[in-house]
Structures are given as structure tokens and as C-alpha cells.
Amino acid sequence: MKKSLILVGTQWGDEGKGKIVDYFSSKYNAVCRFQGGHNAGHTIYQDQKKFVLHLIPSGIFYDHVQCFIGQGVILSLDSLLKEIQEIEEKGIGLHGKLKISRYCSLLLPIHAKIDQLREDNKNAIGTTRRGIGPAYEDKTARRSIKAFDLENEEVLKKKVIDLVDYYNYQINTIHKAEEFDADLVFTELLSNYEKASKYFGDVTDSLEDIYESGEAILYEGAQGTLLDVDYGTYPYVTSSNTLATSVGIGSGFPKSIFSDVLGVAKAYTTRVGEGPFPTELFCQDGSKIADIGNEYGATTGRPRRCGWLDLVALKYSAKLNNLTSLCITKLDVLDSFKKLKVCVGYEIEGKEVPFKSRLLHQAKPKYKILNGWPSSIKEAKNFNDLPKEAKKLIEVIEQFTNVPVSLISNGPNRDDLIHR
């Protein structure tokens, strides 16, 4: 039996997972999202067209691939329907290819409004302002509206009234903003469900059937390890568990944990929003990486903070996810640098320390300096085509993390990949 694969980001998100999932999708019959929401932004280039997927799995562009959204995903029906429309307008049909768990918790416009109001105060986290945090709060507090609630109007009506009352109290008393109309929220939910109902089904049973038939499944992670709500740079994190180990719960299929795990990392480091970032660059090198790498958020459009590759953080991610291999993306962005730096240690008050998220704001990076390479690598087709300096960087990554690099991305297009 072919082994299934979990694909996760190993940094603060934006590692280029969409392209890599798109590549691997050709080798699998099923792709499943298992956490996060439409705060994800997975960018794919197909036939010179750019697609940014926020909810729909990146395997949707292959005719033979069935795509699933597991119950660990927070689901915005507004965002889902918009994404479906955009894809279908470009000639790609989704009916029969997409199945969404009825057990997903729903994200409503009122969640996004609360998120935005909170972010406008002095204690902002730097979220995507899309309502992910408040929606996960409702899930934990047991007040979520589930997708299956849409099947019973009487139950749905009561839950909508209760939820809107709960948030309107905050909107009115704390934020002094305009309240929501429960009847309007209810009507819009029913309207959206009428359009989306054909996509809902039992994801757990479907994944079980695929697995038992001897087929392998590709599990698509969103965000990145360092944004995990438990193991990331708390409180500057997302609201879900982003690790490979969360796939069994998020997909609803426990056997998914018996999979290989591929970690995706850029050849440098970026993050969006607030929070510690030891290797962040505030000089021309950082601006150069941002410009060449087009480092602007696929979801928010915000400029990303840029820095050198942090091998200490990458090793931490490798351990947490039990990585079996690594994919290094955007290696070509470093083409014009004469010297490169990689972080190989942290110091706090002169003492070397390991990765500890609670202490990261105090950590000073210790760098290893490497030579850059003199020419573009965008035409390289295999590892031996790379300049010796680029190969040296890959070897340093492998030696430090103790994880083999099996794939290297040297351009934005689907075919810009080097296999090892």
C-alpha cells in the first residue's frame, strides 16, 4: 500500500505549501484540508494563471483528485461560495469533486466584525481580521453553529439568535459599534446553504473507503508550525493546532497519523503580523528579499517581515512534526546575494539557549556565513545543476535538522522543482 503524506509548514506560514500540494496532488487520489480556515492563502500557478485558494484543497485542479474539507476546518460559507465561483468561472467544475464535513463549525460575518474591532485596539495580535479566532472560541465554548445545524431551521434560528445576542452585547457595550440583525444573519445562512448543500457529506467514511481500497491520501496543512496555538509563539499565533499530529482529529480519520510528513520551508524566513522574529532584517538585505520574493500576504496583502533562514526554529519544527523529509522553497530568491547567513544558535544574556517560544523575544541569533552563488538557478532541473554554493546551503540544512531535503523549488511555476 502506498503511504499517505501529511504536508505542513515549518515556519510562520507562507512557505509556499500551495504549489507543493498542487505538485503532489498528481500522485494521490484524495487531498484533505484538516485545520484552519479561509485565513490560509495557498498560491498556485497553472497555465500562466494565478490562483489563491483559501479553503478548497490545492488538488482541485486535477481531474482524478477528490478534495475534502475535514471537520477541523472553520468554514465561512461566504468565502467558500466566492472561491467556488472564481474556480468555476475559469472552467474548472467542482461538483462531485469536493466534499465538506457536516461537522465543521461555521464562521459568520459577525466573527469577522468582532475580530476587526479587537484588532483595532492597542492589544492587536496581527490577525488576518477574518474572524478565525472568535469562531474557534465559539467551538471551544460549545456555542458554534455547525454545518449540520443548517439542516434544521428551528434549531438554526435559536442558535443564531443566541450567538448574535452574545456578540451584540460586546459590540454595543465594549466597542460602541453597530449591532447585527439576527434575522438577516439567519436568512443569509439559509441562502448560502441552499447553494452549498450539495458539497456536504461524511468525510470520515469517504477517507476510510479510500484508505481501505489501498489508495493513499494527501493531507494539506495550513499556516505554519510556529503559529500553532499550543507550540507556536503564543499569543502571536493562529487559533488552531497546525502540527502534523492534529491531522487525525481535524480530518476525522485517525489512521491518517500513519503517514510520512513533508515539511515545507523557505530558504529564508518570513512572518506576517506581530510577534518575535530573531532573524528579522531591518536593512537593505531584508528589503531585497521582500522585493525579489514578492513577499506580500496571499490572504491579506500585507507586506511580510523578512529575515535569514532560522535553522534553530526549523529543527524545532522538524521535531514537533516528526518530519520524514523537507522541501525548500524560493531558493532562487537568494540568487543575487554574495553572502548568506543562516541562524545556527540563540543567545540570551551571553548564554546559548535552545528554541523556547516563551523566550524568543529575548533571543539573539548566532549566524553561520555562507557564500552566495554567482548565477541564476531558475533553469536547474536536477540537484547537480545547482552551483556548489547552493548545494552547500542544502547540505547545511540537512546536517543541522537531521532531515533529508527531498525537494527544492527554484521558481513559482508548477514545474520549477528539483528532486533529490
**pLDDT above 70 (res 298):** no
385 is catalytic: no
pLDDT score at 40: 78
pLDDT confidence tier of residue 372, bands split at 50, 70 and 90: very high
Same domain, 281 and 400: yes
- 21-58, pLDDT tens digit by residue? 889 998 999 999 999 998 877 777 766 677 788 999 98
With the CA atoms of 409, 411, 414 and 415 taken in that order, what torsion angle do they form, in degrees rounded to the nearest 10? -80
361 in active site: no
Q: For position 8, what pLDDT does the model report?
A: 97
Q: Based on the fold, state whether residues 330 and 301 are members of the same structural domain.
A: yes
E-strand stretches of 171-284? 200-201, 217-220, 260-266, 269-271
**List 14, 149, 310, 416, catalytic entry:** 14
CATH assignment at residue 278: 3.90.170.10
| Angstrom distance (rounded) from CA 226 to CA 216 | 27
Burial track 323-349 (b if 16+ CB lie within 10 A, e otherwise): bbbbbbbbbbbbbebeebbbbbebeee
In this prediction, residue 301 carries a pLDDT of 75
For residue 48, the model assigns a pLDDT of 66
Convert the pLDDT of each residue in 51-89 to its tens digit. Answer: 788 999 988 888 899 999 999 999 999 999 999 998 898
Mean pLDDT of 260-282: 96
249/295 same-domain check:
no
pLDDT above 60 for 1 = no
State residue 266's pLDDT score: 98
Q: State which of 261, 279, 302 marks the end of a domain.
A: 261
Q: Do 343 and 400 share a domain, yes or no?
A: yes
Q: What percent of the chain has pLDDT over 70?
A: 98
**β-pairing verdict for 309-310 and 325-329:** unpaired
Domain boundary among 195, 218, 240: 195
Same domain (yes/no): 344, 414: yes
C-alpha cell at 267: 530558504
Give the distance between the most distant pair of CA atoms in the chain.
67
Q: How far is 345 from 199, CA to CA, in rounded Å? A: 48
**Domain tally, the chain:** 3
Report the percent of the chain where pLDDT is more than 90. 76
Residue 123 or 279, more confident: 279
- Joined together, the cell numbers standing for residue 300 give 491579506
Q: Same structural domain for residues 191 and 215?
A: no
Shared domain check, 175 and 317: no
Of residues 72, 28, 11, the one with CA closest to residue 259: 28
286 and 409 fall within a common domain: yes
**Residue 139 belongs to a domain with what CATH number?**
1.10.300.10
Same structural domain for residues 389 and 408? Answer: yes
Summarize pLDDT for 323-347 with one digit per residue, the tens. 999 999 999 999 999 999 999 999 9
Residues 133-181 pLDDT 10s: 899 999 999 999 999 999 999 999 999 999 999 999 998 998 888 999 9
Q: Which of 149, 164, 195 is the last residue of a domain?
A: 195
Instruction: Determine the average pLDDT of the residues in 10-21.
Output: 92
pLDDT at 299 over 70: no
Lowest mean pLDDT among 254-258, 264-268, 353-357, 400-404: 254-258
Mean of the pLDDT values across residues 378-392? 95
Annotated active-site residue in 42, 111, 115, 149: 42
Average pLDDT over residues 393-416: 95
Peptide bond connecting 57 to the previous residue in cis, omega within 30 degrees of 0: no
Same structural domain, 166 and 212: no
pLDDT for residue 10: 98
pLDDT tens per residue across span 74-128 = 999 999 999 999 889 888 888 889 999 999 999 999 999 998 988 887 677 778 8
Q: 94 and 67: one domain?
A: yes
Looking at the structure, tell me whether residues 305 and 406 fall in a common domain.
yes
Q: What is the residue range of 413's domain?
A: 265-419
Is pLDDT above 90 for 404? yes
Nearest partner of 127 among 40, 236, 217, judged by Cα: 236
* Average pLDDT of span 188-210: 96
pLDDT at 291 over 70: yes
